[in-house]
Structure 1
Amino acid sequence: MRDKLITLFGGGGFVGRYVAQELLATGARVRIAQRDPRRAFFLKPLGGLGQTQFVAADVTRPDTIARAIDGSDGVVNLVGTFTDYERIQVDGARLVAQAAAAAGAGRFVHISAIGADAESPSRYGRTKAQGEAAVRDALSGATIVRPSVVFGREDQFINRFAGLIASPLPVVPVLKPDARFQPVHVVDVARAVVAALTDPLAHGGQTYELGGPDVMTMLDLHHWIAQATGRDKTFAPLPDAVGSAIASMGFLPGAPITRDQWLMLQRDNVVADGAQGFDRLGIIPTPLGAVAPGWMVLYRRQGRFGHNRAPA
């Protein structure tokens, strides 16, 4: 990958910053493309002089996409949304793939998600599937990566529940307590992307589902976080009827979950039987317990000096 130019759409986001870091370590040149590239300037010190570029681009505007891709050896589309589904996850994915094909970029990775399904009850799941199909139509050699819930220091999943558990609430409600996840470390996802870019002959045209070594229910995850942060909490699993009613109010400010997110929880977020994943990419996935305690200290009562009850 040394000296290859890889354009990352959404490269300053949660997953994108780790993909950029892994690429920079290989000697690749990285071009960060996003609507406000100034928000990704923090990545510049991670590379050598001239190794990192920044360009303003919007996945809904073909002219900006073409400028961002010009001269690239590879492209990664990391852009996703929980609001403007069709415009970003379908039309945007199509435009990026079409531009990459027109520019002759020989390496293309599209980040989707486990749960992408044209028959999904949620718009998020349906548009993820439609986005995959649009990418395949434009660029049959694209690699599609479907991670489960991604965790890392800056995530909006583990940290969200940790903040709730660290709050003064004496009892913490748990929505959809039996929903299953396979949390995957953001660094492992980034390494999977780089592996696919490195060998497009082996990985082009493939779909990889990425899950960590642990399958956990929503209730299991809450208990794990409580242990990792030294919190004694009572958890109240909510019946589906109550969860559905709360989700129906998701349009209100401060609502804990939207209706579409509730529909997503109706299906397990785990790697499908027989699906290709980390094994094919030569990556051993990282357990949640191996890295998350490093930042869970933020949620202990006395921070790093608080009592640590290591989770089982």
Structure 2
Amino acid sequence: MAASVLVSGASGFVGRAVVEALLARGYRVWAGSRTGKDVGAATGLKLDVTDFGSVLRAYGTAQPEIVVHLVGIIQEEGDQTFERVHLEGTRHMLRAAPPSTRYLHMSALGADPDSASRYSATKGEAEALVRQSGLAWTIFRPSLIFGKGDDFFGRVLKELVSAAPIVPQIGDGSFLFRPVSVQDVAQAFAQAPSLPDTVEQSYDLTGPQEFTFRQLLELELSALGKHKPIIPVPLPLMNLAVPLMQILPKPPITRDQYAMLKEGNTAPNDAARAAFDLPMLPLEDKLPEIVRGE
């Protein structure tokens, strides 16, 4: 009988791709989300990781042998804080898991308890909980994830290059990024349960090519068919402007996003490519359809 997999955050951008990849490999997949809706052929299950009772009920229904914990937020809203979602949510998922559980954890490239970004700091703190859990864990740290419906290339960067006659560039634009496709991320998660050597290992998930922030702006403009001047904005001015933007109902960039952009987001992918059979899809091939919402 196929192993039962519980996926948290299954209705999200990455979650849908992971569910599809797991189903393709023959697993029985339970799609956990706050709405409880089915995701493709996966049975929907109500799961709020910030509510331990909800987590216990989901585990009781799914009886999972494998848990894929994907829930994360990029921006705080109301009671959905980084601490509650990333840290307490992970603590609840680990606490409810039987000792025999195979546990796969979505972290992020740059996860570090000492990071200036609370997003990255809480991701790092959650990793520590996973390592101390005693479960058979694997941690994945993806870079910027691209694909149809993604938030960064399909919304944040698109709005940045579209909003004004000029395109503001943070500093000298030299910060490095190595975006990875959602298909690569999904394949890593789907293959890990059948690979014993991946237990108690952490993998940086990055794509085949590295870009500066300026190059990403140029690629986004090209994909949109736009021609605009890119104007560097000195960091001291950005340091003043970003906090002021937070008074807007929907700021173009949050403090955390700004902190992460300044840190860059790149790492070698040798370990992940050696462990998993990944397609390594290039950003340039997918970006036009992403920005058009195809």
Q: TM-score, normalised by structure 2?
A: 0.90
CA distance in 1, matches of 2:194, 2:253: 38
1:64 to 54, 58, 61: 54
Q: Please tell me whether the aligned partners of residues 183 and 212 of structure 1 are also in contact (alpha carbons under 8 angstroms).
A: yes
**Larger deviation, residues 57-66 vs 246-255:** 246-255
**Larger deviation, residues 251-260 vs 117-126:** 251-260
2:90 matched residue in structure 1: 93
2:273 matched residue in structure 1: 278
**Are 1:221 and 2:216 counterparts?**
yes
1:3-82 equivalences under 5 Å are 3-38=2-37, 41=38, 43-44=39-40, 47=41, 52-70=42-60, 71-81=63-73, 82=75
Q: Please tell me whether the aligned partners of residues 153 and 291 of structure 2 are also in contact (alpha carbons under 8 angstroms).
A: no
CA distance in 2, matches of 1:294, 1:279: 29
1:209 to 204, 210, 224: 204
Seen in structure 2, the aligned counterparts of structure 1 residues 247 and 164 have a Cα distance that, compared at 3 Å, is closer
- Paired AA for residue 45 in structure 2: V
Question: The residue matched to 1:145 in structure 2 has which SS?
Answer: strand
Q: CA deviation at 1:270?
A: 0.6
Q: CA deviation at 1:124?
A: 1.2
Q: Please tell me whether the aligned partners of residues 18 and 189 of structure 2 are also in contact (alpha carbons under 8 angstroms).
A: yes
- Aligned-pair identity in percent equals 33
CA-to-partner distance for each residue in 1:179-207, whole Å, 9 max, x for gaps?
Answer: 211110001100000111222x2111100
Q: Please tell me whether the aligned partners of residues 7 and 75 of structure 1 are also in contact (alpha carbons under 8 angstroms).
A: yes
**Larger deviation, residues 252-261 vs 209-218:** 252-261
Structure 2, unaligned runs of 5 or more: none
**Are 1:142 and 2:137 counterparts?**
yes
Q: CA deviation at 1:33?
A: 1.1
The alignment of Structure 1 onto Structure 2 pairs a total of residues equal to 284
Q: Please tell me whether the aligned partners of residues 33 and 46 of structure 2 are also in contact (alpha carbons under 8 angstroms).
A: yes
- Paired AA for residue 284 in structure 2: G
Question: The residue matched to 2:262 in structure 1 has which SS?
Answer: coil
CA distance in 2, matches of 1:278, 1:246: 40
- Paired AA for residue 143 in structure 1: T
CA distance in 1, matches of 2:289, 2:262: 31
Q: CA deviation at 1:260?
A: 2.2
Question: The residue matched to 1:226 in structure 2 has which SS?
Answer: helix
Q: Please tell me whether the aligned partners of residues 249 and 259 of structure 1 are also in contact (alpha carbons under 8 angstroms).
A: no
CA distance in 2, matches of 1:297, 1:125: 29
Runs of 4+ aligned residues of structure 1 deviating over 6 Å after TM superposition are none
Q: CA deviation at 1:229?
A: 2.4
CA distance in 1, matches of 2:55, 2:130: 15
Seen in structure 2, the aligned counterparts of structure 1 residues 139 and 290 have a Cα distance that, compared at 3 Å, is farther
Give the CA RMSD over aligned residues.
2.0
Q: CA deviation at 1:96?
A: 0.3
1:152-167 equivalences under 5 Å are 152-160=147-155, 161-167=157-163
Q: Please tell me whether the aligned partners of residues 5 and 74 of structure 1 are also in contact (alpha carbons under 8 angstroms).
A: yes
1:188 matched residue in structure 2: 184
Q: Please tell me whether the aligned partners of residues 208 and 277 of structure 1 are also in contact (alpha carbons under 8 angstroms).
A: yes
Seen in structure 2, the aligned counterparts of structure 1 residues 18 and 100 have a Cα distance that, compared at 3 Å, is same
